[in-house]
Structure 1
Amino acid sequence: MPCLVLDERAYDLRPFLGADVSIRSIVDEWTTRLPELQKLADEGFTGTAELRLADLRPLPPLQPTGQIFQAAANYRQHVLDLLSAAEDRGDTSDGLADGDRRQNTRELLDARAAEGRPFVFLGSSHAIVGATDEITLPSDSQQPDWELELAVVIGRSGRRVAVEDALDLVAGYMIGNDLTARDALARWDAGVLGIDWLAGKNSPSFLPLGPLLVPAVHVGDPQDLHIVLAVNGTTMQNESTSDMLFGVAQLIAHISTVAEVRPGDVILTGSPAGNGAAHGVFLQPGDVIEGTITGLGTQRNVCVAETAR
């Protein structure tokens, strides 16, 4: 049921926008639909029942999604934290001493931000679940990890978009938790093929989205939002989107030079510092993950063990 949410109350959009309307169909026609939504919000929903948001199970806001573009290593402190975690494990596989590794990493991050390009890969929509659904931990992974992220929803098509025009393509924003099986990323037989993103990122339920899709006009500056994630009540991630190496506009511009972005596409903008790999703690069955981003609501997911089919 597509709903518009106001002050913790939800209103069914179908009596006003048509029986066949969905959030996805609204995004597909975002330029014309947004004024209709704003008018409904301003004038109220006379004659229709209101629902308590807390009584509803939020499904993923977009069904189906378009392409899922995922930015890797896009927060400065996140990269530095992963480096420190490798040092704590005594991982010297890169052949560098600790001091050299830290200095080289800082110089590389500075160079990437100044002259480089974002690193973006594609994900599977089959990993998507809702903001309160269970997260199934794969039986063959010992290092399932959280990665709370700002998710961008595209509302207009674009190809080779300039950075200064890129935010005009955004319909709105969501919360995304782009979970990772850390021990599935690196493969001994990969060599120059690099990271196995399929195995590390796309397990079923590894991408809770929502609970809300908030129009960009009501979010403000996407580089001035606060991201907080807690596991079992302990805060693990607590960072600003200002720590991104490449901001939302830069990510959209870059992606549009490689591919065409279309309405319904989702861009995951990278995760800030505080992942499990940095803390030396990974998810276990029974763990409760709670995540918030300024103005975008709250996710609460319980982790469960994978059972044999």
Structure 2
Amino acid sequence: MTSSSAGLTAPFAIVRFRPDGSAVESEPRLGLVAGERVREIGPDELGAGDLNAFLAEAPESWGRLRRIAEQADGTWHPLADVTLTAPVTPRQVLQTGANYRTHVIDLVAAGRAKNDPRPIEELREWAAEMMDRRAREGTPYFFIGLPAAVVGDDVDLVLPGYSDQHDWELELAVVIGKAAYRVDRDHALEHVAGYTIVNDITTRDLVFREDMKEIGTDWYRGKNAPGFLPTGPFLVPAEFVANPGELHLELKLNGDTMQDATTSDLLFDLPALIAGASQNMPLLPGDLLLTGSPAGNGIVHGRMLRDGDVMVGAIEGLGAQTVRAVAEAGSR
């Protein structure tokens, strides 16, 4: 798979890549993208031992790469000659549940409609009032993802054969810069190094435990299969995302638009999420904080992922990722 910066508006971004022809198992190289060109960067260019140490110094550290991005020398190669993978190596992945107003209204109304005699519009009004009250009085809902599930769109999404209810969830992801521990809303964005794209794949029929409903949700089984967090391909510096609260998100499945929203529909904005997530455990440089997924998931469309599906997830200014779904061997 060759690479392109289509949809990337920043003058430069960080990537991890493999030269075309190299094995998927080979260690990716850290790179700098500017337009349709890429060059490898290491500790000398970063001014730090690795990417996470570099991000710990953001935003000041971005200036080192800005100077390199403006150079025109023989160290650059065509972006089309490489394959991009996930741009980050987080130690922690924090995920936000039920954080898009319209999305939650859709899910609540659809779930209640099976056993509730009220008309669907009345159910939606009830759900809307509940969401508005939560936004005024509540706090964000977080759960933990596994860093091992983070991959690039250079590998196929294998749909585990134990279910046929695998769903998509396009999300804006915050990449943490300097460590954040018990920060407040007013200072939360100071801890953002940049942003990237994540498709948070979910196995819907495993989210709620049927054998012991009192336990509630089971996010480990519902979300953490291999490759269930396609990420990237670009890590865009925060300074190039002027208003992360007004970004357009769109996910297409086989060319048909399924999710089409903006981050203005978030119940809890980014400062609230960062501040809330940092209260009981420090957020570390390079960590991912997923901000939730908007309306338009497969469970609402009545259409889950199948063998051969192609998803293209794009977020304004951050580029796009293309993920191909394949059935697990032996389950086709």
TM-score, structure 2 as length reference = 0.85
TM-superposed deviation, 1:115: 1.1
**Contact 2:109–2:123 (CA under 8 A) maintained in structure 1:** no
Q: 2:46–2:54: 8 Å Cα contact kept in structure 1?
A: no
Residues 175-194 of structure 1: pairs in structure 2 closer than 5 A: 175-194=197-216
Is residue 47–residue 54 contact of structure 2 (8 Å, CA) maintained in 1?
Answer: no
2:289 is aligned, of 259, 267, 271, to: 267
CA RMSD of aligned residues (A): 2.1
CA distance in 2, matches of 1:181, 1:230: 19
CA drift of 1:207 comes to: 0.4
Verify: 1:258 aligned to 2:258, yes or no: no
* Contact 2:105 2:131 (8 Å CA) reproduced: no
Question: Are 1:154 and 2:169 matched, yes or no?
Answer: no
Instruction: Tell me the alpha carbon deviations over residues 156-202 of structure 1, each in whole angstroms, 9 at most, x when there is no partner.
Output: 11222111110110000000000100011112123221111111111
Question: What are the Cα deviations for residues 70-116 of structure 1, in whole angstroms up to 9, with x where unaligned?
Answer: 000100111122234336xx522xx6734664333112101111110
Q: Which residue of 1 aligns with 2:41?
A: 13
For residue 307 of structure 1, give the secondary structure of its aligned residue in structure 2: coil
What is the percentage of aligned positions where both structures have the same residue? 44
Distance 1:251 1:202 in 2: 21
Helix, strand or coil at the partner of 1:83: helix
Distance 1:197 1:285 in 2: 23
> How far 1:15 sits from its partner (Å)?
8.4
Distance in 2, Cα, partners of 1:20 & 1:169:
18
2:111 equivalent among 65, 73, 86: 86
Q: Give the one of 15, 40, 44 matched to 2:68.
A: 40
Q: Which residue in the other structure is 2:10 paired with?
A: none
Give the match's secondary structure for 2:259. strand
Distance 2:202 2:43 in 1: 40
Structure 1 runs (4+) greater than 6 angstroms displaced: none
Give the structure 1 partner of residue 16 of structure 2: none
Q: What is the TM-score normalised by the length of structure 1?
A: 0.91
- Equivalent position amino acid for 2:279 in 1: T
Q: 1:298 aligns with which of 320, 323, 328?
A: 320
Task: Name whichever of 110-119 and 254-263 sits farther off.
Answer: 254-263
AA aligned opposite 2:118: A
1:218 matched to which residue of 2? 240
Kindly indicate whether residue 156 of structure 2 is the aligned counterpart of residue 129 of structure 1: no
- CA-to-partner distance for each residue in 1:24-71, whole Å, 9 max, x for gaps? 342234345212112222x314342x22223321121112x1210000
Is the CA contact (8 Å cut-off) linking 2:98 and 2:104 kept in structure 1? yes
The answer to whether the Cα contact below 8 Å between 1:145 and 1:179 also exists between their aligned partners in 2 is yes
Offset of residue 18 of structure 1: 6.8
SS of the residue 1:58 aligns to: strand
Quote the Cα distance in structure 2 between the aligned partners of 1:189 and 1:101: 28
Cα contact 1:153–1:267 (8 A) shared by 2: yes
Once the 2 structures are TM-superposed, how far is the Cα of residue 249 of structure 1 from its aligned partner? 0.9
Question: What is the CA-CA distance between 1:307 and the residue it aligns to?
Answer: 2.0
- What corresponds to 2:133 in structure 1? 111
Provide the secondary structure at the position in 1 that maps to 2:326: strand
| Structure with a larger share of its residues in helix | 1
1:59 corresponds to which residue? 85
In structure 1, the gaps of 5 or more residues are none
For 2:216 and 2:312, locate their aligned partners in 1 and report how far apart those are by CA, in whole Å.
32
- Do 1:154 and 1:262's aligned partners in 2 also have CA atoms closer than 8 Å? yes
Correspondence for 2:228: 206
Q: Does 1:197 align with 2:219?
A: yes
- Aligned equivalents of 2:299 and 2:172: distance in 1? 20
Seen in structure 2, the aligned counterparts of structure 1 residues 19 and 107 have a Cα distance that, compared at 3 Å, is: closer
1:97 matches 2:122: no
Give me the whole-angstrom Cα distance separating, in 2, the residues matched to 1:85 and 1:133.
33
Match of 1:278 among 294, 297, 300: 300
Amino acid at match of 1:71: T
* DSSP 3-state at the match of 1:228: strand
| Whole-angstrom distance in 2 between the partners of 1:32 and 1:152 | 18
Q: Which moved more, 1:271-280 or 1:128-137?
A: 128-137
> Aligned residue pairs: how many?
302
Match status 1:248 vs 2:270: yes
